[in-house]
Amino acid sequence: MKTNRMSRNDWPVEIIDRDSYEPAYAQLANILRRQVANGVFRPGDQLPSEAKLCQSYQVSPMTVRRTINLLAEEGVVSTVKGRGTFVKALELGHAAFGLQELQNLFNDPAMAVRLLDVRIVSANERTARKLNLAVGQKTIYIRRLLTINDNPAFYHREYLIYDPTRPIVEAELEVTTLQGLFDGTGSAMLKRGKLKIEACLLNEEEVTLLQTTLPTAAFYLEHLFYDFNDCPVSWGWFICRSDYLHFATRVGINND
């Protein structure tokens, strides 16, 4: 069954607000994005030409080019040299999952951190590889249990580079590096980090601490942070109960 489609010559044209704080190219990008979301232009459709957009919205060619570049960077459109600009089809490979829900958990005022263990240990092969150390070199090992409303949610283990000239302060024992980065109090000594999230099954120790039963699935969140010399300074992982964390995302362009 055919549907009635609007021709490229009579698509709805909105007005660019010249008094707005928002630059014209951003306004035009929002307009075209809304039109794609509302089905005025659908995947595979060609957008009006640069000259047509300039004429319809009373903007310069440079403004139109900035608009198209912005939409191309967002994955909304693609340009074909000599042919024009086309709306891209939905691609699940471009879906991105954020960490907002994880951040909300760490920022929950009901969250508390309980220090289980802190001691100096010799780096085994795995720890030495992660922290770029020699096997047997000293590291600081910390175990923590994070609870929400007194219910265990995360079990955290972390290894820090041992520096005898810099003793651990109490705040570092009670607040994890990742938690500090989420609430804006993260260390200014960190340049970058790597995060990895995987599914896992709890072992007996984790089941006991997280107050659940075997077999139970959970999330494994590994983190590795580097200083401004690009040297690793801390490595560890959270084990999170699966009922506390969920991941969701949107694909495509939404009407809102």
* Average pLDDT of span 82-99: 74
Distance between CA atoms of residues 134 and 121, nearest Å: 13
Contact 162, 138 (CB under 8 A): yes
pLDDT digits (tens, 9 = 90+) for 149-162: 999 989 999 999 88
Whether 111 and 193 map to the same domain: the answer is yes
Q: What CATH number is associated with residue 149? A: 3.40.1410.10
Q: Tell me, yes or no, whether 73 and 129 share the same domain.
A: no
For the chain, the domain total comes to 2
- Between 171 and 110, the higher pLDDT residue: 110
Tell me if 173 sits within 8 A of 118, measured CB to CB: yes
End-to-end alpha-carbon separation of the chain, Å?
A: 29
In-domain check, residue 13 = no
pLDDT at 67 over 90: yes
Q: Which residue has the higher pLDDT, 15 or 26?
A: 26
Which pLDDT score, from 0 to 100, does residue 177 have? 57
- pLDDT band, very low/low/confident/very high, at 59 (cuts 50, 70, 90): very high
Is residue 94 situated within a structural domain?
Answer: no
Q: How far apart are CA 215 and CA 254, in angstroms?
A: 39
Residue 1 confidence class, pLDDT cut points 50, 70, 90: very low
Q: Is residue 9 part of a domain?
A: no
Question: Each residue of 175-233: pLDDT tens digit?
Answer: 555 566 555 555 567 788 888 989 999 999 999 999 998 888 999 999 998 888 898 98
pLDDT for residue 242:
84
Of 235, 204, 241, residue with least CA distance to 219: 241
pLDDT band with cut points at 50, 70 and 90 for residue 4: very low
Model pLDDT, residue 31: 93
Does a structural domain hold residue 147? yes
| Cβ-contact 142, 117 below 8 angstroms | yes
How many residues can be counted in the chain?
A: 256
Domain that holds residue 135: 100-244
Assigned token pair, 167: 């003793």
